[in-house]
A and B are shown apart, each in its own frame.
Chain A
Amino acid sequence: MLVVENLHVFYGGIHALKGITFNVPQGKIVTLIGANGAGKTTTLKAICGLVDAKGSIRLDDVELVGKPTHEIVRMGVSMVPEGRRVFPNLTVMENLLMGAYHRDNRDEVEEDLRWIFELFPRLKERAWQKAGTLSGGEQQMLALGRALMSRPKLLMMDEPSLGLAPLLVREVFEVIKHINEEGRTILLIEQNARAALKIAHYGYVLETGKITMEGTGSDLLNDDRVRKVYLGES
């Protein structure tokens, strides 16, 4: 569904992505793993049009490079940004409605709202609270719910487990898996490589702007080099 070919990104003088190529097939979870500064977030930002990129990014054969962010989002790409970035001064409900901002069919939005509240009952309890008053885990759920409110074809997540307690991390990954089983395509970025590879169908390893390895989730989990560098085993 998403095909990225020879993607380059320059930040000022820095060559952050040096021609990466990967794809995310329909209905799968694909993960990019790698150390800090490898270019994972940059890749997601390039797909969303938040940074200028060279190369080709196609969603269902439509070229995304050069399009403004809001159009790319309207075409079906949604992102849960790193650090959640909920709107603290808006209520939980307003945050979710922001996610559906570009959708006009009110009935469908209502329907999705019910679905999100089913998925995350905590959010329903707190619908009228300011998002800034939520705990970290609740904010992560809200950010995820907000992204789902746009009914994305492709859901991208940047470090959803960052800064969460281990128990919550497991919960977040359960939810990701569940959403995928309902048929959504997911591109996941994680430093927590083990958790990501466990649920991913396919994975790519990113090192200083290049893809150095790829394989199914379980292949990478069992790969010696991956185990050593990213899973901290000897």
Chain B
Amino acid sequence: MGFVDLLQQLANGVSLGSLYALVAIGYTMVYGIIRLINFAHGDVMMVGCYLAYFGVLMFHMPWQISWIVAIGLTSLLGVSIYVGAYRPLRRAPRISALITAIGVSFLLESLGLVIFGGRPKAFPRPPILDIGLNLKGVYIMSFTIWIPVIAGVLLLCLVFLVYKTKVGMAMRAVATDMETTSLMGVNIDRVIAITFAVGSALAAAGGIMWAIRFPQINPYMGIMPGLKAFIAAVFGGIGNIFGAMLGGFLLGMIEILVVAFMPHIAGYRDAIAFAILIAVLLFKPTGLLGEPLREKV
């Protein structure tokens, strides 16, 4: 494999990795705050894709508007899921919330099947993202460049939100000590709802760009990227947003490079991701950037 091929694969890896990173953020933020693995997160991403799809094809919105509307509606969906399904279980054992998350996941998939239909749909690619580029022999599609750029901007916004704003400060406080945060006059429910809104918005953005990369959408499309993003979040250290970003990029890169260098095992692509999960859980359960586990009192 030549240098040019390597560059091409690296570009692909960054592009795929940034998608994992966007979706992984949602897992890690929700886990950090209420210690829940939100297994419905991948399906939230699927809904985001469909909303963007219908925005363009049914309501004839320009794609930019349709994306923004879809991202907004998806974050509302995330908040509704919290209010309807998880909030009543705030004081329940964690396992109840976890099982509920699986239930919400099935609910969204089945509703998707009923409402959107089971036949895969072709996601429209905006022309600007659909240009083949030949950069000195490195042959890539324009979305391969755009996806990491958009993802990077969104991730910067997220870091700003979490580290430079008042509500971000409250999020970090809730994540370490919910009871004491409420003693500061913070409405915990509101902070958690905002967390769901942010996570779901990023999932929608990730999902839409996923559909640009793999332009076929169906109601079960969220499962695999959702699981991969979950792996990325665990890999990086769940609860840590920089961990989710790092885990996402690494996972995307590893997947692409393994397939590129060892084409004969390309069929095991998904298995590689799960092998990483198992290895992380066995040898470094706190992930790359995770802090040592402290049981909350």
Binding site for B on A (CB under 8 A): 48, 50, 68-70, 73-74, 78-79, 81, 85, 87-90, 94, 97-99, 101-102, 146, 150
Residues B182 and A101 in contact, CB atoms below 8 Å apart: no
For residue A88, give the distance in angstroms from its CB to the closest CB of chain B. Answer: 7
A85 to B178 alpha-carbon distance, docked (Å): 11
B172 within 8 A of A: yes
Given A85-B177, A87-B173, A90-B172, decide whether A98 and B182 contact each other with a Cβ distance below 8 A: no
A79 to chain B: closest residue by CB: B183
Chain B residues near A78: list those with CB within 8 A: 183
7 A–B contacts from the bound complex (CB under 8 Å): A50-B182, A70-B186, A70-B188, A78-B183, A90-B176, A101-B185, A102-B184
Residues A101 and B170 in contact, CB atoms below 8 Å apart: yes
A78 to B179 alpha-carbon distance, docked (Å): 13
A101 to B179 alpha-carbon distance, docked (Å): 15
A78 to B180 alpha-carbon distance, docked (Å): 11
Binding site for A on B (CB under 8 A): 166, 169-170, 172-173, 176-177, 179-188
Residues B176 and A88 in contact, CB atoms below 8 Å apart: yes
Residues B185 and A87 in contact, CB atoms below 8 Å apart: no
For residue B241, give the distance in angstroms from its CB to the closest CB of chain A. Answer: 13
B182 to chain A: closest residue by CB: A69
B180 to chain A: closest residue by CB: A85
Q: Which of A68, A88, A89, A99 contacts B184 (CB 8 A)?
A: A99
For residue A89, give the distance in angstroms from its CB to the closest CB of chain B. Answer: 6
A155 to B180 alpha-carbon distance, docked (Å): 15
Chain B residues near A97: list those with CB within 8 A: 166, 169
Residues A87 and B176 in contact, CB atoms below 8 Å apart: yes
Chain B residues near A69: list those with CB within 8 A: 182-183
A165 to B187 alpha-carbon distance, docked (Å): 35
Residues A48 and B183 in contact, CB atoms below 8 Å apart: yes
Q: Which of B166, B177, B185 contacts A70 (CB 8 A)?
A: B185
Chain B residues near A74: list those with CB within 8 A: 185
Chain A residues near B179: list those with CB within 8 A: 50, 81, 85
Given A50-B179, A87-B177, A98-B181, decide whether A70 and B172 contact each other with a Cβ distance below 8 A: no
Chain B residues near A89: list those with CB within 8 A: 172, 176
Residues B170 and A87 in contact, CB atoms below 8 Å apart: no
Residues B172 and A73 in contact, CB atoms below 8 Å apart: no
A74 to B182 alpha-carbon distance, docked (Å): 10
Residues B183 and A81 in contact, CB atoms below 8 Å apart: yes
Chain B residues near A48: list those with CB within 8 A: 183
For residue A104, give the distance in angstroms from its CB to the closest CB of chain B. Answer: 11
For residue B189, give the distance in angstroms from its CB to the closest CB of chain A. Answer: 9
A52 to B286 alpha-carbon distance, docked (Å): 35
Residues B173 and A98 in contact, CB atoms below 8 Å apart: yes
Q: Select the residue from B172, B177, B184 with max chain A CB neighbours within 10 A.
A: B184
A90 to B179 alpha-carbon distance, docked (Å): 16
A80 to chain B: closest residue by CB: B183
Chain B residues near A79: list those with CB within 8 A: 183
B181 to chain A: closest residue by CB: A98
Residues B187 and A70 in contact, CB atoms below 8 Å apart: yes
Chain B residues near A102: list those with CB within 8 A: 184-186
Q: Which 10 A-B pairs have CB atoms at the shortest separation, nearest pair first?
A: A102-B185, A73-B185, A69-B182, A85-B180, A70-B187, A98-B184, A101-B184, A74-B185, A87-B173, A70-B185
A79 to B187 alpha-carbon distance, docked (Å): 16
A74 to B166 alpha-carbon distance, docked (Å): 17
Q: Which of A68, A70, A81, A150 contacts B180 (CB 8 A)?
A: A81
Residues B184 and A90 in contact, CB atoms below 8 Å apart: no
Chain A residues near B177: list those with CB within 8 A: 85, 87
